């Protein structure tokens, strides 16, 4: 018999998945408190303990999660939402099983007031400002084929951005689609629909197919509510009579604004605005110029992105051949160490991507930057479509490292022998200990030893969560255990406070490591090039990139095990991040193609094509590249035609030179790259001597 709480059968005496999940872990996050629940799931406020960053986690209801088709639909909608990135949409960041195996959606936490709790009626100019922001979000969603179908005053939230400016956030995109899929044929036949009754469009009540105009109707209801303080039709099914004109209920509402809202509330979709842009423009035009919302200011500060720095091939000398498991590619480019982006239009060349240093956080192995920076190839693709950048960057960053100088040893499960462990997520309550062996059971009590600044404190810890090998592979993190201090005494609290405050250890620091000092000196002296960082040729293949990167990281890891002064340890960590950046930039064809294109590395681009880079994948990047160079494409075609004529005449050396010139102007033309590469292989020794194109050939 199904449980009365969760509607799912589970063993007697076992924990019910419907009970509150407060206090449980979702990856590196702690579910702090329940924010609310709806028809689809329960939403919790989650916190990343080391940094204090907060997120929202939506947990699918157990009775829905018990149906495989619902789990599949939940994850499918989550993947679609990952592509929807807009300043007025609460971002979907990640979807994966969480506590009890229930599907969880990790989202941006919109900390503010829903429209339903605002003091109404609002001044018309204020209501228009909020509606325009909501329509901008809906417009972006509709451009990607996403229709909300359940917009209401409860899932529109008024927040404040970093500058204190009011910002609307739209929540729950995709929820209606998942719930609609849960309805049975009998329920549909009885007229059951998904949505908030007072905001549902007439065609939704009728069970007809809906499009984006249903969302415009819902926003019309929201606008009517904001300016009058009441709903146009009450809380039930839409009536046949037209609602009272808003200005008849609130004399401060201009007649033009009343007309705009009533058009959005038209019974027939074809009588409403054709799209969100038209609705938004009508709102902007219905107020006098003096009363229109002031344009939002530009970001307060913009900072140039620094080029990727490099290190000599000393990092990878005597590098062993990597095993296949070591060569797994890592995708993405870290947001804070990207190369200069390809300029998209002449007016954008002097406008760098804004960054806010120090506000990114590692979640499930990915860095979630607050400013929405994105890998190069995604930025180009989004820019070519006129869309905002994606917020999530996939990188390898399992947890917040332990404070420099803090050493941790933990007792093994069997022998209780203290061994050094790689610690992370260190707080005053506990820490994460990476553990490659057999994991201890939950609630096991382990001895531990923490050392910092010449002081050592022993304590006991309780195991509160396990990260298994399977989870580690899934999340791209280390396997291990999260532990909490059993009875932290004052000496332990003082040591942790000193370490977490970043205080320098008292007494004399260790002497600088001479070998590392020489390596860091050479690293600082070289030019900016990830190829040089890995000691790789411009035509290096992808397996060799990964082998060299792994060897370099292993060597740096060996340095990390040494006793180092704080300055050297920080410099070593910076160097490790640059090596990781080089691996991500050169180890994935699309990333590498974007990097090589702006540097004219024809040999590297040919490697990307041979690795399977398709025309479809690279075309958005190519269009953005050429848009910044208006005359390049025509000139490139002329040169390529000349090269073809020379090839027909069997003048292969001259033909290859012409093709190379053409590709210097249009380096992401995959079909040309294939032809050029094939001809070079046929010609063998007649290829041009220089495989890297002259930057002077670029327009």
Question: Which is the CATH superfamily of the domain at 1-109?
Answer: Phosphorylase Kinase; domain 1 (3.30.200.20)
Say whether pLDDT at 29 is over 80.
yes
505-551 residue pLDDT tens: 455 567 788 888 888 877 766 546 788 888 888 888 999 988 988 98
pLDDT at 277: 93
pLDDT at 688: 44
DSSP string for 231-285: -SSTTSSPPSSPPPPHHHH-TTS-HHHHHHHHHHT-SSGGGS-SSHHHHHHHHHH
pLDDT at 413: 65
pLDDT at 162: 67
pLDDT at 101: 86
Total residue length of the chain: 699
Say whether pLDDT at 58 is over 50.
yes
Other beta carbons within 10 angstroms of residue 574's beta carbon come to 13
**Cα 346 to the center of its chain, rounded Å:** 28
Dihedral sign for Cα atoms in the order 313, 314, 320, 325: negative
87-139 residue pLDDT tens: 898 888 778 888 888 988 888 888 889 998 898 899 999 999 999 999 999 99
Alpha-carbon separation of residue 293 from 126, 273, 289, 692 (angstroms): 7, 21, 9, 52
Q: Does residue 150 have an active-site annotation?
A: yes
pLDDT at 577: 79
Pick from 500, 430, 436, 504: nearest CA to 467: 436
pLDDT at 475: 65
| 664 neighbors 699 (Cβ within 8 angstroms) | no
Q: How far apart are CA 437 and CA 414, in angstroms?
A: 11
pLDDT at 50: 72
pLDDT at 222: 95
Residue ranges of the chain assigned to CATH 3.30.200.20: 1-109
pLDDT band at 234 (very low <50, low <70, confident <90, very high): low
Say whether pLDDT at 308 is over 50.
no
Across the range 654-659, mean pLDDT stands at 88
Pick from 161, 528, 167, 165: nearest CA to 356: 161
Q: How far apart are CA 672 and CA 657, in angstroms?
A: 13
407-411, strands of its sheet edge to edge: 418-420, 407-411, 445-452, 455-467, 480-485, 430-434, 423-424
Higher-scoring residue by pLDDT: 661, 320 = 661
Q: How far apart are CA 517 and CA 605, in angstroms?
A: 35
Say whether pLDDT at 692 is over 60.
no
pLDDT at 319: 36
Share of the chain above pLDDT 90, in %: 14
- Least confident piece of the model among 12-26, 314-328, 532-546, 592-606: 314-328
Radius of gyration of the chain (CA): 29
CA atoms within 13 A on the CB side of 280: 17
How many helices (H) and strands (E) the chain has is answered by: 23, 19
Higher-scoring residue by pLDDT: 161, 614 = 614
Say whether pLDDT at 385 is over 70.
no
Across the range 292-317, mean pLDDT stands at 35
pLDDT at 611: 87
Report H helices in 333-408: 376-384
Q: Is 448 helix (H, G, I), strand (E, B) or coil?
A: strand
Q: How far apart are CA 499 and CA 404, in angstroms?
A: 8
What's the token pair of residue 286?
Answer: 């219905």
pLDDT at 175: 60
333-383 residue pLDDT tens: 222 222 222 222 222 223 332 333 333 443 444 444 333 333 333 333 433
What's the token pair of residue 252?
Answer: 């401060």
pLDDT band at 579 (very low <50, low <70, confident <90, very high): confident
Higher-scoring residue by pLDDT: 140, 529 = 140
Say whether pLDDT at 54 is over 90.
no
The one catalytic residue among 94, 150, 275, 336: 150
pLDDT at 373: 32
What average pLDDT does the chain have? Answer: 73
Say whether pLDDT at 677 is over 90.
no
Q: How far apart are CA 379 and CA 392, in angstroms?
A: 12
Say whether pLDDT at 69 is over 60.
yes
DSSP string for 606-620: HHHHHTT--HHHHHH
Higher-scoring residue by pLDDT: 298, 521 = 521
DSSP string for 621-634: HHHHHHHTSTTHHH
Q: How far apart are CA 119 and CA 135, in angstroms?
A: 21
Q: How far apart are CA 168 and CA 118, in angstroms?
A: 13
pLDDT at 122: 92
What's the token pair of residue 38?
Answer: 């709806």
Cα distance between the two ends of the chain: 73
Say whether pLDDT at 595 is over 60.
yes
CATH of 407-500, picked from 3.40.50.300, 3.90.700.10, 3.30.230.30, 2.40.10.220, is 2.40.10.220
What's the token pair of residue 224?
Answer: 């009517």
Backbone torsion region of residue 415, taken as left when φ is above 0, otherwise alpha when ψ lies between -120 and 50, otherwise beta: alpha
Say whether pLDDT at 235 is over 70.
no
Q: Is 428 helix (H, G, I), strand (E, B) or coil?
A: coil
Q: Say if residue 573 is exposed, middle or buried (CB neighbours under 10 Å; 0-12, 13-18, 19+).
A: middle
Backbone angles phi, psi at 288, to 5 degrees: -65, 155
pLDDT band at 614 (very low <50, low <70, confident <90, very high): confident
Task: Look at strands 166-170 and 92-97 and give their pairing.
Answer: unpaired
174-220 residue pLDDT tens: 665 555 544 445 544 444 444 567 788 888 877 777 888 999 999 99
Say whether pLDDT at 262 is over 90.
yes
| DSSP single-letter state for residue 130 | H
Q: How far apart are CA 15 and CA 35, in angstroms?
A: 22
pLDDT at 195: 52
pLDDT at 236: 46
Q: How far apart are CA 130 and CA 538, in angstroms?
A: 52
Residue that is written with structure tokens 């050392």 in the block: 451
What's the token pair of residue 613?
Answer: 């880079």
Residue ranges of the chain assigned to CATH 2.40.10.220: 407-500
pLDDT at 372: 32
Write the CB contacts of 318 (distance below 8 Å, at least 6 apart in sequence): none
């Amino acid at each position: 018999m199904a449980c009365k709480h969760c509607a799912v059968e589970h063993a007697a005496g076992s924990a019910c998945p419907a009970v509150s999940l407060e206090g449980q872990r979702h990856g590196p996050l702690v579910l702090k408190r329940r924010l609310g629940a709806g028809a689809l799931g329960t939403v919790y406020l989650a916190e990343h303990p080391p940094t204090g960053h907060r997120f929202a986690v939506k947990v699918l209801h157990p009775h829905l999660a018990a149906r495989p088709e619902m789990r599949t639909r939940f994850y499918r909608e989550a993947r679609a939402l990952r592509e929807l990135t807009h300043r007025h949409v609460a971002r979907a960041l990640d979807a994966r099983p969480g506590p009890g195996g229930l599907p969880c959606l990790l989202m941006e936490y919109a900390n503010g007031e829903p429209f339903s709790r605002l003091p109404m009626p609002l001044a018309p100019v204020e209501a228009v400002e909020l509606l325009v922001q909501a329509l901008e979000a809906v417009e972006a969603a509709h451009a990607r084929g996403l229709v909300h179908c359940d917009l209401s005053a409860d899932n529109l939230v008024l927040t404040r951005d970093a500058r204190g400016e009011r910002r609307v956030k739209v929540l729950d995109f995709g929820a209606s689609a998942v719930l609609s899929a849960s309805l049975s044929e009998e329920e549909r036949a009885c007229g059951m629909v998904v949505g908030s009754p007072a905001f549902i469009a007439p065609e939704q009540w009728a069970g007809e197919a809906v499009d984006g105009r249903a969302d415009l109707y819902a926003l019309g209801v929201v606008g009517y509510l904001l300016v009058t303080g009441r709903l146009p039709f009450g809380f039930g099914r839409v009536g046949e009579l037209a609602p009272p004109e808003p200005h008849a209920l609130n004399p401060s509402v201009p007649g033009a604004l009343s007309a705009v809202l009533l058009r959005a509330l038209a019974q027939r979709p074809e009588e409403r605005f054709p799209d969100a842009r038209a609705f938004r423009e009508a709102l902007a035009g219905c107020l006098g110029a003096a009363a229109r919302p002031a344009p939002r200011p530009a970001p307060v500060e913009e900072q140039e992105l620094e080029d990727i720095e490099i290190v000599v091939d000393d990092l990878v000398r005597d590098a062993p051949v990597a095993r296949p498991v070591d060569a797994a590619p890592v995708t993405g480019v870290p947001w804070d160490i990207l190369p200069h982006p390809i300029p998209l239009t002449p007016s954008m060349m002097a406008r760098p991507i804004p960054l806010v240093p120090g506000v990114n956080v590692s979640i499930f192995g990915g860095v979630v930057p607050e400013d929405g920076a994105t890998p190069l190839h995604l930025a180009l693709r989004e820019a070519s479509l006129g869309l905002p950048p994606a917020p999530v960057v996939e990188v390898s960053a399992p947890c917040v490292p332990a404070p420099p100088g803090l050493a941790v040893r933990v007792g093994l499960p069997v022998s209780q022998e203290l061994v050094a462990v790689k610690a992370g997520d260190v707080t005053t309550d506990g820490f994460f200990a990476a553990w490659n062996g057999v994991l201890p059971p939950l609630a096991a009590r382990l001895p531990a030893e923490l050392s910092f600044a010449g002081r050592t404190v022993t304590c006991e810890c309780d195991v509160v969560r396990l990260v298994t090998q399977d989870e580690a592979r899934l999340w791209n993190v280390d396997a291990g255990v999260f532990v909490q201090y059993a009875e932290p005494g004052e000496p332990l609290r003082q040591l942790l406070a000193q370490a977490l405050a970043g205080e320098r250890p008292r007494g004399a620091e260790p002497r600088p490591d001479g070998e590392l000092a020489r390596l860091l000196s050479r690293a600082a002296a070289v030019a900016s090039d990830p190829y040089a960082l890995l000691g790789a040729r411009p035509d290096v293949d992808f397996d060799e990139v990964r082998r060299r990167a792994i060897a370099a990281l292993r060597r740096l890891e060996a340095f990390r095990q040494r006793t180092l002064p704080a300055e050297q340890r920080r410099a070593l960590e910076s160097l490790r991040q640059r090596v990781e950046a080089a691996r991500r930039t050169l180890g994935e064809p699309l990333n590498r193609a974007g990097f090589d294109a702006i540097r004219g590395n024809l040999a590297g681009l040919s490697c990307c094509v041979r690795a399977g880079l398709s025309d479809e994948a690279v075309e958005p990047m190519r269009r953005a590249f050429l848009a910044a160079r208006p005359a390049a494409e025509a000139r490139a075609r002329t040169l390529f035609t000349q090269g073809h004529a020379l090839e027909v005449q069997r003048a292969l050396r001259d033909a290859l030179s012409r093709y190379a010139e053409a590709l210097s102007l249009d380096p992401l033309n995959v079909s040309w790259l294939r032809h050029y590469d094939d001809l070079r292989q046929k010609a063998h020794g007649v290829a041009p001597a220089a495989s890297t194109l002259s930057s002077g050939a670029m327009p």
